[in-house]
Homo-oligomer: A and B are copies of this chain.
Amino acid sequence: MRVDASRPVSAGCVLDHPLAHEQARALLKALADPLRLQVIEVLGRGERCVCELTDELGLAQSKLSFHLKVLKDAGLLEAREDGRWIYYRLRAEAIGALQRWLGDLAAGCDTPASPCG
């Protein structure tokens, strides 16, 4: 079996609850790479086989594979095996969880500072 069945820490039902800082940071970090963001954007339009991604993005195979792993470990992607091919899809729950986490972040940012002098 080429695809590990065990779920990353950040995956699954965990994302239905409020995100911990570490989890949020892991998602942000995974998204913050230009190449990975391209991958995410393509997968945001629908599931893709690795070979399609390779063509669509014009990437070296090992390079793409590296970044897919990073995204999967962060809980952003899910892989599905079908014979010789592996299909990846974006986990909308992960995006949603991050969205909500960001929403809470700025809650009190208009509170003025106590003068420092």
Interface residues of A (CB under 8 A from B): 21, 24-25, 28-29, 31-32, 34, 37, 40-41, 43-49, 51-52, 82-85, 87, 89-92, 95-96, 98-99, 102-103, 105-113, 115-117
Given contacts A32-B28, A37-B21, A41-B21, contact A87 B113 (CB under 8 A): yes
Can you list 20 A-B pairs with a CB-CB distance of less than 8 A?
A: A28-B28, A29-B32, A44-B106, A45-B107, A46-B111, A46-B113, A47-B110, A47-B112, A49-B113, A51-B116, A52-B113, A83-B117, A84-B117, A85-B117, A87-B116, A89-B109, A90-B106, A90-B109, A92-B106, A99-B99
Give the oligomeric copy count.
Answer: 2
